[in-house]
Amino acid sequence: MQTALSVRNLYKVYNPKRASKTIAVDHISFDSHFGEILGILGPNGSGKTSTIKSIASIIEYEEGEIQVLGMDNRKKRKKVIRHIGAVLEGSRNIYWTMSPVENMVYFAGLKGMSRKDVKERMERYLHLLDLEPVAHKQVRSFSKGMQQKVAIACALISDPKIVLLDEPTLGLDVETSRKMQAFIKEIAKEQRHIMITSHDMRFIEKTCSRVLIMKKGRLIADDSVENLNHVFKKQVFKLTVKDHPRDALLDELRGQCEFRMEHHDENTDLFLILNDSQTLYALFDILRRYKSTLLGVDIIKDDLEDIFLKLVNGDGAVPGEGGKDS
């Protein structure tokens, strides 16, 4: 596979000379390739956005080297950015007073392309993203999901080789999120490299082929989604029980799985990390034996924090299949 990006020892610090100094990216290295959809997964503040901004030449970094298509992104900045299409979270990526079509034509123009050059691509993206009915309406009135779709279409309109998407599904409903996933897979079929940051484990699992996991600026895993299956297959269930569970009960639970607790006045939430819902039945048995009253069971959708904060060892390694999931 041809190398698209090469990141060596990237080190990014905010306010390096002040007491408020923050090490956002702490010497990370990786290569990525054409045809790959690379996900960067990590809790908030782990350095995902800083990594993507460094690659896109939007911020400067203190140490390390980034090569985009074999070119140093500091020495050949102008050339490099011509090949990158990026959508950054929390940035203004499109113009609200313009329509999707006007935005696309404008962004194509920035890269030296005319409306005619991009006509076909524009029609295809409008179609794939269900934007045809609103193609000529001001983006201002759109939902967040629709605006995000327009931003992605604009990032892609000049047919960049490298596509960087920072939290593309943040704040999107399930349906739009699914559409986005299908769209990303579709555009990945063309000779392109796509990199997506997200704190949404399920989106990364379904969309990406390879995953980097970041924690506190460091890379703690770099592997295929398949090989990280032991992480992705875990789910977090919330069991609400009456009162505060007895120590003996908690000891038995500890023998079965990882969990954390939140005590409330009259009940307790247990957040359990499980491999499958089968284990749940064994846990119900334990509760029954201790006569603990189960008030509710929920699957936690936004489960990354729980899974990673518990599972990622202090030494930074993601535990493998070894051991009995404790």
Chain residues binding ligand ADP by CB under 6 A are: 14-15, 22, 24, 42, 44-50
Amino acid found at 215: K
What are 279's two structure tokens? 């284990």
Least gap, CB of 57 to ligand ADP (angstroms): 15
Of how many residues is the chain composed? 326
The verdict on 49 binding Mg ion (CB under 5 A) reads yes
Q: Which of residues 182-241 bind Mg ion (CB under 5 A)?
A: none
SS3 107: helix
SS3 165: strand
Least gap, CB of 194 to Mg ion (angstroms): 17
Angle, vertex CA 307, rays to CA 306 and CA 311, nearest 5: 115
Residue in 140, 128, 54 with CA at minimum distance from that of residue 103: 140
81 binds, among ligand ADP, Mg ion, none (CB under 5 to 8 A by kind): none
Contact 34, 68 (CB under 8 A): no
Of all helices (H) and strands (E), which one includes residue 147? helix 144-156
- Of the candidate spans 19-27, 44-52, 72-80, 275-283, the one that interacts with Mg ion by CB under 5 A turns out to be 44-52
Nearer to ligand ADP, 10 or 118 (CB): 10
149 binds, among ligand ADP, Mg ion, none (CB under 5 to 8 A by kind): none
Nearer to ligand ADP, 44 or 143 (CB): 44
Nearer to ligand ADP, 69 or 212 (CB): 212
* Residue 74 DSSP code: T
Amino acid found at 182: A
Handedness of CA 25, 222, 163, 204 (dihedral sign): negative
Least gap, CB of 24 to Mg ion (angstroms): 10
256 binds, among ligand ADP, Mg ion, none (CB under 5 to 8 A by kind): none
Least gap, CB of 44 to Mg ion (angstroms): 7
Least gap, CB of 15 to ligand ADP (angstroms): 6
Nearer to Mg ion, 126 or 214 (CB): 214
50 binds, among Mg ion, ligand ADP, none (CB under 5 to 8 A by kind): ligand ADP
Beta bridge partners of 268: 241, 263
Nearer to Mg ion, 48 or 215 (CB): 48
For residue 173, the number of C-alpha atoms closer than 13 Å in the C-beta half-sphere is: 7
Least gap, CB of 12 to ligand ADP (angstroms): 8
Distance CA 190, CA 67 (A): 21
* Closest-approach residue to Mg ion (CB): 49
Least gap, CB of 170 to Mg ion (angstroms): 9
The footprint of Mg ion on this chain (CB under 5 A) covers a number of residues equal to 2
Q: How close are the terminal C-alpha atoms of the chain, in Å?
A: 37
Order of strands, sheet of 71-72, starting from the edge strand that comes earlier in the sequence: 22-33, 3-14, 63-68, 71-72
Nearer to Mg ion, 35 or 43 (CB): 43
Instruction: Tell me which residues touch Mg ion (CB under 5 A).
Output: 48-49
